[in-house]
Amino acid sequence: MQLKVYMKRKTIYSILIIITIIGFWLFENFYTPDTYSVSETAGLKTEIPINFLPSSSTGAIVEHSFYSLSYNEPFEQAEWVAYTLDKSQLTNDQRKRPFFIEDPKVKTKSADWRNYKGSGYDRGHLCPAGDRRFSEKAFNETFYTSNISPQDRDFNAGIWNRLEQQVRDWARSYDEVFVVTGGVLELGLTEIGDEDVDVPRYFYKIITKGDPSNPEMLGFLFLGKESTKPLRSFTVSIDAIEKRTGIDFFQNLPNEVQDRLEARVELDGWKF
């Protein structure tokens, strides 16, 4: 009798263990939290000046409440993410880090975050979560996988982070800056995960301030590796970034203004 009871309990425990394992597997592979997007009635949106919007090589432009992007499906990431950073948005509010989830507005489906697991690469934010602490919705929106790109861990925590902090300092000093950023998407890149997410070798960031009809602009181009060199040593012309990416970053500015501003590196007026 005792043997039968023991065998029955053992069978029940075994079944419960199997159910638990299956449950964890289903959660890990199929669970996706609700959208982070702000509802249309929320009335909260960060506008981007039309003169500062880049061209899109794919036509897959997505507008979220606090940033916009152009998604490049073959590379499974955005070719650019663009946003405005206002001085008033820079807060130290503590936010609970949410899940990374697929972007519901990317029609071709943005890459699953699990592509990054075990890859050795960080899920590197393009629009930093640290720039969007002023509201829970704004913060959470940066955790769409359309806003991340595979980055070397030391690079992400090192010089890339230093530049993000510098951009915040500029927003404090100049009241508002506009940022467009991304990885250089080109053929022959290393790929990770089941969806073959490409790992950019180079990353760029363009910061703009001032009059949208005659702005000041500064471009940066980095090899995706940590460096102790000063940030100013990575400044390049906008023309150089356009040549590498195939993107026209200030397509809505008059050609004569583009020709004048994009060909040069002008550090005057930018406090490092």
Which residues are catalytic, by number? 125
Q: Retrieve residue 235's tokens.
A: 């400044």
- Give me the half-sphere count of Cα atoms (radius 13 Å) on the Cβ side of residue 204: 24
CB 151 within 8 A of CB 197: no
Rounded Cα distance between 246 and 241, Å, is 8
**Would the CA dihedral through 19, 21, 23, 26 be positive or negative?**
negative
CA angle in degrees (0–180, nearest 5) for 55-59-63: 80
Task: Please count the other Cβ atoms lying within 10 Å of the Cβ belonging to residue 272.
Answer: 10
Rounded Cα distance between 72 and 1, Å, is 66
Q: Retrieve residue 201's tokens.
A: 């070798």
Q: Identify which of 219, 155, 174, 160 has the alpha carbon closest to the alpha carbon of residue 84.
A: 174
CB 239 within 8 A of CB 247: no
Alpha helices in 125-234 (DSSP H): 136-141, 153-157, 159-174
